[in-house]
Amino acid sequence: MSFRCDTANEQDLPQLVELLGLLFAQEAEFAPDAAKQRAALALILADRGIGRVYVAREGGRVVAMASLLYTVSTAEGGKAAWLEDMVVLPELRGRGIGTRLAEHVIAQARAEGLARITLLTDADNAPAQRLYGRLGFRASPMRAMRLKLG
Query: Burial code of 51-67, b = ≥16 C-beta within 10 A, e = fewer?
Result: bbbbbbbeeeebbbbbb
pLDDT at residue 27, as a whole number: 87
Question: What confidence category does residue 28 fall into, taking pLDDT thresholds of 50, 70 and 90?
Answer: confident
pLDDT at residue 60, as a whole number: 87
Domain range for residue 37? Answer: 4-134
Flag whether 145 is in a domain. no
Query: CATH code at 93?
Result: 3.40.630.30
> pLDDT of 74-93, one tens digit each?
999 999 999 999 999 999 99
pLDDT at residue 1, as a whole number: 62
Mean pLDDT of 114-125: 94
Residue 63 pLDDT more than 80?
yes
What is the rounded CA–CA span in Å between residue 79 and residue 49? Answer: 11
What is the rounded CA–CA span in Å between residue 107 and residue 80? Answer: 14
- Cβ atoms 128, 86 nearer than 8 A: yes
Quote the number of domains for the chain. Answer: 1
Flag whether 147 is in a domain. no
Flag whether 125 is in a domain. yes
Flag whether 81 is in a domain. yes
Mean pLDDT of 101-117: 98
> pLDDT of 126-138, one tens digit each?
999 999 999 999 9
Flag whether 14 is in a domain. yes
Flag whether 150 is in a domain. no
Q: What is the DSSP letter of 94?
A: T
pTM of the predicted model over 0.85:
yes
Question: What confidence category does residue 150 fall into, taking pLDDT thresholds of 50, 70 and 90?
Answer: confident
Query: Burial code of 11-32, b = ≥16 C-beta within 10 A, e = fewer?
Result: ebbebbbbbbeebbeeeeeeeb
Flag whether 144 is in a domain. no
Flag whether 95 is in a domain. yes
